[in-house]
């Protein structure tokens, strides 16, 4: 049985004081075993401060990105070891904004996935189609391509502890949410891809989050789908009530 996992992607929002206040507000209200795993992924400059605010709470820390090299002359980048050093457990990789705004390829994502896993971080690997790809009936093909290339060479054991996130790009930050049936169909496809590449046991172990305009009022219906194991939340993760409301939705 997969334990639901709800993670907040704060993106490039908040200042230091607001990030600490949000983390402290979440920490004060999150219960020790609420039946759902929770994580927040603040901007990297606030990871340390947010880690301190979360100390003693059940909320884990994640980063929004990393570089695949272990260290050296890579100006502006952060290594997996640095993220672990400030208390990260998770790292989001291949978010659509990294793919489509920063031009990251699935091969870039794959290098990062290997570096994260080797260091002991849990990657949250995002895949998702653009609106024109969905309208052209290419969703399954795009998801398969991104999955195959982003997870290339990952062992079965490492795959089983990797988190996937299906985030249709047209639903991110737009208020347009995939219907539970639309989302479930892609999650099921993704799980079949994992089973075909690995085996049924690995496919059953991998948690697949849905992301794209998840809010407290649509979370329960989405997360009730058999292959949707939680949510990767952008906008609504910036408010304590909304984020915890979504977490509750994972349990209903
Ligand atoms: C995201 O950035 O991963 C996301 C899903 O954003 P939003 O919830 O704002 O659509």
Task: Find the 177 Cα to ligand 1 centroid distance in Å.
Answer: 10
Q: Which CATH class is domain 5-249?
A: alpha beta
Q: Taking residues 22-31, what's their average pLDDT?
A: 95
**Residue-by-residue DSSP string for 22-66:** HHHHHHHH--TT-SSEEEEE--GGGHHHHHHHHTTSSEEEEES--
| pLDDT of 24 strictly over 90 | yes
Q: For residues 189 and 146, is the Cβ–Cβ distance under 8 A?
A: no
Q: Please indicate whether residue 234, judged by its CB atom, sits closer than 6 Å to ligand 1.
A: yes
Q: Please indicate whether residue 172, judged by its CB atom, sits closer than 6 Å to ligand 1.
A: yes
Q: What is the pLDDT of residue 34?
A: 76
Confidence category of residue 252, pLDDT binned at 50, 70, 90: confident
What are phi and psi for residue 151, nearest 5 degrees? -110, 10
Confidence category of residue 32, pLDDT binned at 50, 70, 90: confident
How far apart (Å, rounded) are the C-alpha atoms in residues 3 and 29? 20
Confidence category of residue 33, pLDDT binned at 50, 70, 90: confident
The residues pairing with 122 across neighbouring beta strands, listed in sequence order, are 90
Average pLDDT, the chain: 97
Tell me the pLDDT tens digit for each residue of 41-56: 999 999 999 999 999 9
Q: Please indicate whether residue 128, judged by its CB atom, sits closer than 6 Å to ligand 1.
A: no
Tell me the pLDDT tens digit for each residue of 76-85: 999 999 999 9
Q: Please indicate whether residue 167, judged by its CB atom, sits closer than 6 Å to ligand 1.
A: yes
Domains of the chain, by residue range, sit at 5-249
Note if the pTM is more than 0.85. yes
Q: Whose Cα sits closest to atom 8 in ligand 1?
A: 234
Nearest ligand 1 atom to the CA of 172 is 10
- Burial of residue 119 (CB within 10 Å: 0-12, 13-18, 19+) is middle
What are phi and psi for residue 110, nearest 5 degrees? -60, -45
How far apart (Å, rounded) are the C-alpha atoms in residues 153 and 113? 10
Tell me the pLDDT tens digit for each residue of 95-150: 999 999 999 999 999 999 999 999 999 999 999 999 999 999 999 999 999 999 99
Q: Whose Cα sits closest to atom 7 in ligand 1?
A: 234
Which contiguous run of DSSP H or E holds residue 96? helix 96-100
Task: Find the 234 Cα to ligand 1 centroid distance in Å.
Answer: 3
Helices then strands, counting H and E runs in the chain, come out as 12, 8
Q: How far is CA 110 from the centre of its chain?
A: 15
Enzyme catalytic residues: 95, 167
Task: Find the 198 Cα to ligand 1 centroid distance in Å.
Answer: 29
């Amino acid at each position: 049985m997969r334990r639901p996992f709800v993670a907040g992607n704060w993106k490039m929002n908040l200042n230091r004081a607001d990030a600490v206040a949000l983390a402290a507000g979440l920490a004060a209200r999150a219960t020790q075993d609420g039946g759902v795993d929770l994580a927040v992924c603040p901007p990297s400059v606030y990871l340390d401060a947010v880690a301190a605010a979360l100390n003693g709470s059940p909320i884990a820390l994640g980063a929004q990105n990393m570089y695949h090299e272990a260290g050296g002359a890579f100006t502006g980048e952060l290594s997996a070891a640095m993220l672990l050093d400030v208390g990260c457990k998770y790292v989001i990789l291949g978010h659509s904004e990294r793919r489509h705004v920063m031009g990251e390829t699935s091969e870039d994502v794959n290098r990062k996935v290997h570096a994260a896993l080797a260091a002991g971080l849990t990657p949250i690997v995002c895949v998702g189609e653009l609106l024109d790809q969905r309208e052209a009936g290419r969703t399954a093909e795009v998801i398969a391509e991104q999955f195959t290339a982003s997870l290339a060479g990952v062992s079965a054991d490492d795959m089983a502890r990797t988190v996937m996130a299906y985030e249709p790009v047209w639903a991110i930050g737009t208020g347009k949410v995939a219907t539970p049936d639309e989302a479930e169909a892609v999650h099921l496809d993704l799980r079949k891809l994992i089973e075909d590449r690995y085996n049924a046991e690995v496919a059953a172990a991998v948690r697949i989050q849905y992301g794209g305009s998840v809010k407290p009022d649509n979370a329960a219906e989405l997360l009730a789908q058999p292959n949707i194991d939680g949510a990767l939340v952008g906008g609504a993760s910036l408010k304590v009530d909304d984020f915890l409301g979504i977490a509750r939705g994972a349990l209903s």
